Amino acid sequence: MSDHSDSPAPDATEFSVKGLNCQSCVRKATAALEAVPGLASVVVSLEEERAIVRWRPDVKPSAYTIIRALQTAGYEAEPIRNSQLTTRNSPWSPLTGWQFNVVFGGAVTLLLMLGEWAFGLGMETWFQWAAFALALPVQAVCGARFYVGAWRQLRVGSSNMDTLVSLGSTTAFGFSAWALFTGWHGHLWFMEAAAIITLISVGHWLEARMSAHAASSLKALLNLAPATAHRLDTSGAEDEVPVAQLRVDDRIALRPGDRVPVDAEILEGQSAVDEAMLTGESLPVEKSAGAKLYGGTVNQNGRLIARVTATGDTTALAQIIAVVQRAQASRANIQQLGDRVSAVFVPSVVLIALGTGLWWWLAYESALRVATTLLPWLKPEHFPASPLAAAFIHAAGVLIVACPCAMGLATPAAIMAGVNAAARRGILIRDGAALEKSGRITAVLFDKTGTLTEGKLTVAAVQEVNVSAMSIRELAAALAEPSNHPLSRAVAMADSHRPSLQDWREVRGAGVAATSEGAICRLGSLRWLNEVGVNGVGHPFATEWTSQGATVLGLARGAELLALFALRDQLKPHVADVLAELQRDGKAVFLITGDHAQTAAAIAALAGVPKENVFAEVRPEQKADIVKQLQARGQRVAFVGDGINDAPALTQADLGIAVTRASDVAREAADLILLQSDIQAIPEALGLAQATLRTIKQNLFWAFFYNAAAVPLAALGLLSPVVCAAAMGLSDVLVICNALRLRAWRQR
Where in the sequence numbering do the catalytic residues fall? 447
Q: Measured between alpha carbons, how far is 319 from 653 in angstroms, rounded to an integer?
A: 24
| Residue 280 near residue 424, CB atoms below 8 Å | yes
Q: Which amino acid is at 316?
A: A
**DSSP 3-state of 141:** helix
Q: Which amino acid is at 613?
A: N
* Element of type H or E holding 31: helix 23-34
Rg of the chain taking only CA atoms, in angstroms: 33
3-state SS, one letter per residue, for 314-367 = HCHHHHHHHHHHHHHCCCCCCHHHHHHHHHHHHHHHHHHHHHHHHHHHHCHHHH
Give the closest residue to 657 by CA, choosing from 629, 678, 634, 626.
678
Q: Alpha carbon of 677 to those of 259, 385, 681: distances in Å?
A: 23, 72, 10
Question: How many C-beta atoms surround the C-beta of residue 303 within 10 A?
Answer: 14
Q: Alpha carbon of 20 to those of 27, 50, 142, 326, 471: distances in Å?
A: 10, 9, 15, 19, 74
Q: Where are the beta strands (DSSP E) in 572-648?
A: 588-592, 614-615, 637-641
Centroid of chain to Cα 486:
33
Please state whether beta strands 76-80 and 228-232 pair in parallel, antiparallel, or not at all (unpaired): unpaired
Q: Where are the beta strands (DSSP E) in 84-146?
A: none
DSSP state letters, 38-95: TEEEEEEETTTTEEEEEE-TTS---HHHHHHHHHHTT-EEEEETT--S----PPP-TT
If you ran DSSP here, which 8-state letter would residue 453 be given?
A: B
Please state whether beta strands 50-55 and 228-232 pair in parallel, antiparallel, or not at all (unpaired): unpaired
| Residue 272 near residue 301, CB atoms below 8 Å | yes
| Residue 577 near residue 481, CB atoms below 8 Å | no
Strand partners, 637: 443
Contacts of 571 (CB under 8 A, 6+ apart): 452, 453, 454, 603, 606, 607
Contacts of 634 (CB under 8 A, 6+ apart): none
Give the closest residue to 78 by CA, choosing from 87, 68, 86.
68
Please state whether beta strands 443-447 and 637-641 pair in parallel, antiparallel, or not at all (unpaired): parallel
Instruction: Give the relative orientation of helices 404-424 and 190-214 as an angle to the nearest 10 degrees.
Output: 20
**DSSP 3-state of 514:** strand
Q: Measured between alpha carbons, how far is 215 from 229 in angstroms, rounded to an integer?
A: 27
Please state whether beta strands 502-507 and 12-18 pair in parallel, antiparallel, or not at all (unpaired): unpaired
Give the closest residue to 43 by CA, choosing from 6, 19, 75, 17.
17
Strand partners, 656: 639
- Looking only at Cα atoms, what is the longest distance across the chain? 116
If you ran DSSP here, which 8-state letter would residue 473 be given?
A: H
**Segment 724-727 long-range contacts (CB within 8 Å, at least 24 positions apart):** 724/168, 724/196, 724/397, 724/398, 724/400, 724/401, 725/195, 725/196, 725/198, 725/199, 725/200, 725/400, 725/401, 726/199, 727/401
Q: Measured between alpha carbons, how far is 341 from 345 in angstroms, rounded to an integer?
A: 6
